[in-house]
């Protein structure tokens, strides 16, 4: 048995908080059936109480334990994409705590694809409520050190699983509505979701009801300016004092994996302004554009 997983289990079962590695970003996890633990998550992050959490489970077989009903679209996506960077919004089961869902009638569920957290969830047996392990609205963590830098003693144990291989959060699909809606682009490209649901999918409409739907999010301390190509970025940078330029558009997998680390590094160097080149709106580019646009909204004039 892995000693770090043993320690993480001990902390979680005693009502503590554990930072867990996933394929997307690190999460701040607590027992989803322990109201005191869940409230500690909100306090540690400075997260608004009406902003719902995602419950992480070990396998698709447990989805029905958390859902009042499992829509056919959710069944198809779960069987195809889990474990993986996909969150499904479904009608919540009666036992799901209102503090987890922000008082909503739906709950977000996902099965992460990281060997340490897969072992942890299997041995834990239940669900872990786990938003990203950082201060609310700020840049998400993709290494254990990012978590320690952001949360310090507010987290009881950090399960170090190395750098997150995808680097941007999960795709969120609302399966409680017809047709299902893409609420947040993420690690599974929107085009793949459209194909899996035979085109029976819509873009998000209505109020924020899941993680990452607010206009401003994922924000560094520096101001972020956006450019559609490198030439525009260089033109913007020419008028600034010591700007930081981020452009990994040649490789979108690399861009996603390093996006948050690049934003954090710019802050660490004291950058006043970051100029980021937007990738094309395709594949992982959807998620990268979404995160950069929300990061830029943080300092919109």
Number of domains in the chain: 2
Tokens 């872990």, residue? 128
pLDDT, tens only, 23-35: 999 999 999 999 9
CA distance 37 to 300: 35
DSSP string across 175-191: TTSSS-EEEE--SS-HH
Domain final residue pick, 203, 232, 265: 203
Q: What is the average per-residue pLDDT within 43-47?
A: 95
Residue 168 sits in the same domain as residue 232: no
Q: How many CA atoms lie within 13 A of 47 on its CB side?
A: 31
Whether residue 168 has pLDDT greater than 70: yes
Domain final residue pick, 174, 203, 232: 203
The confidence score (pLDDT) of residue 26 equals 98
Q: What is the average per-residue pLDDT within 106-123?
A: 98
Pick the range with the lowest mean pLDDT from 1-10, 86-95, 108-117, 119-128: 1-10
pLDDT, tens only, 187-242: 999 999 999 999 999 887 666 556 655 556 678 999 999 999 999 999 999 989 88
Residue 236 sits in the same domain as residue 170: no
Q: Is residue 71 part of a domain?
A: yes
Domain of 85: which CATH number? 3.90.870.10
Domain final residue pick, 203, 237, 252: 203
Q: Is residue 85 part of a domain?
A: yes
In this structure, the number of other CB atoms found within 10 A of the CB of residue 289 comes to 18
7 strand-pairing partners: none
Domain of 269: which CATH number? 3.40.50.11030
Please give the residue range of the domain that contains residue 290.
223-297
Q: Is residue 175 part of a domain?
A: yes
């Amino acid at each position: 048995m892995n000693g770090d997983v043993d320690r993480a289990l001990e902390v979680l079962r005693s009502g503590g908080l554990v930072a867990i590695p996933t394929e997307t970003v690190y999460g701040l996890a607590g027992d989803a059936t322990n109201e005191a633990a869940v409230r500690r998550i909100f306090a540690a992050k400075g997260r608004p109480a009406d902003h719902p959490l995602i419950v992480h489970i070990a396998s698709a077989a447990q989805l029905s334990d958390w859902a009042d009903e499992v829509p056919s679209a959710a069944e198809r996506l779960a069987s195809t994409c889990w474990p993986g960077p996909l969150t499904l919004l479904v009608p919540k089961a009666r036992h799901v705590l209102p503090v987890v869902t922000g008082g909503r009638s739906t709950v977000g569920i996902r099965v992460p694809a990281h060997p340490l957290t897969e072992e942890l969830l299997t041995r834990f047996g239940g669900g872990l409520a786990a938003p990203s392990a950082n201060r609310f609205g700020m840049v998400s963590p993709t290494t254990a050190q990012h978590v320690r830098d952001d949360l310090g003693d507010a987290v009881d144990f950090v399960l170090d699983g190395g750098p997150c291989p995808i680097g941007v959060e999960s795709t969120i699909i609302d399966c409680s509505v017809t047709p299902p809606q893409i609420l947040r682009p993420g690690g599974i490209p929107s085009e793949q979701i459209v194909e899996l649901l035979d085109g029976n999918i819509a873009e998000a409409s209505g109020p924020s009801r899941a993680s990452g739907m607010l206009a401003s999010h994922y924000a560094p301390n520096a101001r972020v300016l956006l450019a559609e190509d490198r030439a525009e970025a260089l033109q913007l940078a020419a008028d600034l004092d010591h700007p930081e330029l981020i452009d990994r558009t040649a490789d979108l997998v690399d861009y996603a994996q390093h996006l948050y680390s690049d934003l954090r590094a710019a802050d660490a160097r004291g950058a006043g302004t970051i100029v980021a080149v937007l990738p094309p709106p395709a594949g992982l580019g959807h998620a990268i554009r979404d995160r950069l646009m929300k990061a830029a909204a943080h300092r919109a004039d």
